[in-house]
Structure 1
């Protein structure tokens, strides 16, 4: 129509709501041809082209795993549509379940041999596998890639956005990484969809003795020792070069040095240690410790028992002094004690120390943060400030098991961010872990010093909610173990989002009246957090 771009934009602003609300209309072949005739000279045609056909596997529920040909068409202006499936359990287990019970055609016959005892059935999967380049078995990587892809599609759909992935990557791992990282960045701090949650379990509004309205919105903080691989240098937060390396790019030069602590000599070829025999021995012991035979021999040696002459490796068990024999039965399951005279070193990458959770007492998880080297107070404060970045977003009470140290750290650094937040220790830890003689702790962190936390002789808030939630997170330990950092964080955030939705559903069913605090109340216009969003 040869309109100027400004005119097109004005028309679109006026008509877009009508266009998007119109029921889908399928254009005729003639209309598509006419559009392309007009659009091609202007460079705005969206013709699908460059067809690529290749062999693939289709894993179905009804017909099992099937060999198929799939054709993809490339469009310079839009991303292809992709479909995957959901998974929230161990990927290896899901693949095993599918391969053993669902991958065969007519799997109901295999799963019910008694009922179909008179049916003659033979699988042709093995013969077909030999003539196809792909395995008919579902792989664990397929399950995880499907989970991440499906979760990304759901997240984009929730925000009415498109998922755009690169098509020139050599693996799904690389293809998904940038989209996963983008979602991780958006979820950090205040990014969980249930962040602004409040209900009459975690937020109490009442009149005090002076007839003034008081709001008590609490949060609880605690950590769980579950993590992902990281650089072998203590507290280093840089990404590993690859999932199989020990160091990040910054500390890559350490790969060529002896890994024994305090030794700067170069590694001998084929080893992670230098030529010093004691260092070689330490490396040998490190790799042997992973074997069951080594562990059993060590127990036998500590017990002071002589191995039979024909015992495998019996000659390697040295004589043990009589005084090392266990004194009583309670020592039977004791772990081997470390010898301070032995050399120490790091022969693999580290694992992050703690995942820190910030929660509401009702069970809603606000955020998670990774603590690399230790649960340092400075790192906890940094994570707390990221979760509650404005004065309006800070809770009236923040429960943490070592709040006494956290308060002291804030006072020393003149940090007034949580000046109007009470910081008691949760009831369980205060009763069992804190000394009565510590006046500072009793004054600022004893829950009993805050009478408004009591209602009719009972605590208003469940301050052990994090301890209870850690049991749930621990169930994912086998799945998260050794998972690459980007996928680790995405998986954690996705599980938290889904759990939060379930908790809200449960709260509604119990009449707990959940609601969302308006965004501009937590983050007033002009605040740094508001600008970041």
Structure 2
């Protein structure tokens, strides 16, 4: 803004020469924020030229400017005529909008004039097939609310423009045809994202939520609550006073939709994002740096010295898991969170939940057939959910992860303070967390369970008050009892995928992640590593470090897979010392990390590479357990893929600050 030019224009008008500099600047700033609204109410010929400012102001805007600047209403027209060209070349910006927000609230809200009014990015036709070339004038304003980062939740207007010839509607974020079933978003990322019919979110706020997900493992529910408690400064009473139809409310779904929309707009061609990342890994698949790649000297028997490259990959699994079809190995997604089976196996909902029984259920609200023993098993399952035993079991599940709802209003059993009395029914456990079975002896049905070894957290020594519950039986469920009683398994809840398998460079960059449905079988892990390092641009690791590398190497040797011929395998240091027996001849002979000098420091006293990096990454991934546990597969994979992508960006920036020279590998490297 050229204040001297504005002052000169005022001084040339004797009626306005008594205006103060403050009034002058306020008039220009406020009216520049209303240019779209001023332009919309002009005759078409007045606005055919973008550089030509309108001659007159709408009455409501003139009244607002008079109130806000304390310029007499009768002088507003003269002031506009003197300053309109300066206003028209002064673009509204966020800083001006922030400063003017209070003026709009006090002087404009009751007139329906808001500090924010969202218009399409262009007021002209963008459809080359449409015969019209003039400016779009058919406008439909909508009352909305906008959740902003620094002004709280504000009432605002969203105006979409329409063409009666080609039947296209131009909204702030997208354009849509009257008969179309999809929206076409404009290129780039706008300042505000539409997350519901009448709700928009400041892009800066969405980025804040994304960083809360990444760095604080904060769920969408808690992001919404933090915003409403800390930043949504405008009260409900202010909205009621102007009779605004929408209240300052932010839901969990709004946060999730904003997150997904931002990610897709930033990477707009990723409609097959989940499948692509599953098959080719993260964008950092070709990453190298001085923290994960070592070039070392090798002395040969003939006295010659060569230089070799060593860049290991470390893999490990962690059980997060999403609900999946109850048919083992079936990878078809569930239709909703209430289903136990996918669409293909949906008929099994009407079959008895006891494994091996194919009789129909006795009625729609039951999960067992007419067999009396099976009915008792179902009763025990439901009774379990009302016991103090179940409350402690659920508490155990939540001890490792941040709760999805920190206030406990959506999940009252998350914290001990919110745990109800044992007499209160909590309903059946939604997901099967443990290995459970039932025994029948002399007509008596008993319930047993043991901790699932793939759980996110296993019971450790010293856990007070939980041992008797978690270790109620150590007898495996697939063995017949010495007493001769029969054992039955059942599936009353939803089955969960087994684990997430990660592939990590020793610097902390995650190059791949996959969900293993049934088990962390060595063959699945080998296929995963082979898949992500077989794509274009990827470079095979010289070393594969895995906690059961001895089993992996034996399997590869037995199969004779040539892909693995030049990849060395060893167990990471911690697992080798703590979990692998010294009497295991094959492991000690072929998978001892100390047998590979390139993994050791030059003086042989320590390790050049961080072989526990995958375990450390899993600690971070494990913090998303409560957030992800109720997601269906598509959303689950999308969220984890994006968190890993952002984690890699953060890690690479850290590597740059540490002068470790992160970079993409050149094509000349071994592949």
TM-score, structure 1 as length reference: 0.72
Tell me the CA shift for residue 273 of structure 1: 1.1
Q: Which residue of 2 aligns with 1:72?
A: 160
Contact 1:205 1:213 in 2 (8 A): yes
Change (3 A) 1:44 1:245: farther
User: Structure 2 CA distance, aligned partners of 1:227 and 1:204?
Assistant: 35
Partner residue in 1 for 2:614: 466
State the shift of 1:347 in Å.
1.6
How far is 1:257 from its partner? Answer: 0.3
Secondary structure of 1:478's aligned partner: helix
- Structure 1: distance between partners of 2:136 and 2:494: 46
The answer for the alignment partner of 2:566 in structure 1 is 420
How far did residue 333 of structure 1 move? Answer: 2.8
- Aligned partner of 2:467 in structure 1 is 334
Which among 127, 141, 147 is matched to residue 253 of structure 2? 141
Correspondence for 1:185: 275
- 2:506–2:611 Cα contact (<8 Å) kept: yes
Find the partner of 1:362 among 481, 490, 507. 507
Q: Are residue 101 (structure 1) and residue 226 (structure 2) matched?
A: no
**Does residue 398 in structure 1 map to residue 562 in structure 2?**
no
Change beyond 3 A, Cα 1:251–1:412: farther
Query: Which residue is equivalent to 2:657?
Result: 509
Q: What secondary structure, in the 3-state scheme, does the structure 2 residue paired with 1:437 have? A: coil
* Structure 2 CA distance for partners of 1:196 and 1:343, relative to 1, 3 Å: same
Q: Where does residue 450 of structure 1 map in the other structure?
A: 596
CA distance in 1, matches of 2:132, 2:339: 46
Indicate the residue corresponding to 2:197 in structure 1. none
Residue 40 of structure 1: CA displacement?
6.2
Pair 126,41 (structure 1): closer, same or farther in 2 beyond 3 Å:
closer
Give the equivalent residue in structure 1 for 2:309.
Answer: 215
| 1:348 equivalent in structure 2 | 493
Q: 1:135 to 1:247 in 2, by over 3 A?
A: farther
Extract unaligned runs of 5+ from structure 2. 1-46, 52-122, 162-168, 170-174, 178-183, 194-202, 394-420, 425-443, 445-461, 478-485
Q: Deviations over 1:225-274 (max 9, x none)?
A: 11111111122211112232111122111111011111111011121111
Q: Distance in 1 between matches of 2:137 and 2:275?
A: 34
Greater displacement, 364-373 / 75-84: 75-84
The gaps in structure 1 that reach 5 residues or longer are 1-27, 106-121, 162-178, 299-310, 319-328, 524-533
Aligned residue for 1:29? 48
Within-5 A mapping of 1:20-419: 29=48, 53-73=141-161, 74=169, 75=175, 79-80=185-186, 83=193, 84=203, 85-86=206-207, 87=209, 88=213, 89-105=218-234, 124=237, 127=240, 134-156=246-268, 182-210=272-300, 211-269=305-363, 270-291=365-386, 293=388, 295=390, 332-336=465-469, 337-338=472-473, 343-389=488-534, 393-419=539-565
Q: Which has the greater radius of gyration?
A: 2
Instruction: State how far apart, in whole Å, the 2-side matches of 1:101 and 1:37 are.
Output: 41
Contact 1:39 1:45 in 2 (8 A): no
Note the C-alpha offset of 1:471.
1.1
**Structure 1: distance between partners of 2:658 and 2:551:** 37
User: 2: distance between equivalents of 1:228 and 1:221?
Assistant: 20
Equivalent position of 2:433 in the other structure: none
Q: Distance in 2 between matches of 1:382 and 1:47?
A: 58
8 Å CA contact 2:547–2:571 kept in 1: the answer is yes
Cα deviation digits, residues 348-405 of structure 1 (max 9, x gap): 2211111000011111100101101110112111111111116972110010111111
- The answer to whether the aligner puts 1:486 opposite 2:598 as a matched pair is no
Distance 1:522 1:152, change over 3 A: farther
Quote how far apart the aligned CAs of 1:76 are: 5.8
SS at match of 1:195: helix
State the partner residue of 1:173.
none
Taking only aligned residues, the RMSD between alpha carbons, in angstroms, comes to 3.6
Distance 1:229 1:519, change over 3 A: farther
User: Against the structure 1 CA distance between its residues 127 and 430, is the aligned structure 2 distance closer, same or farther, given a 3 Å change threshold?
Assistant: same
Q: Which has the higher contact order (CA 8 A, sep 6+)?
A: 1
TM-score normalised to structure 2 length: 0.58
Contact 1:189 1:367 in 2 (8 A): no
- Report how far residue 37 of structure 1 moved: 10
Q: Deviations over 1:411-438 (max 9, x none)?
A: 2322221110001111111111112222
CA distance in 2: counterparts of 1:38 and 1:464, whole angstroms: 55
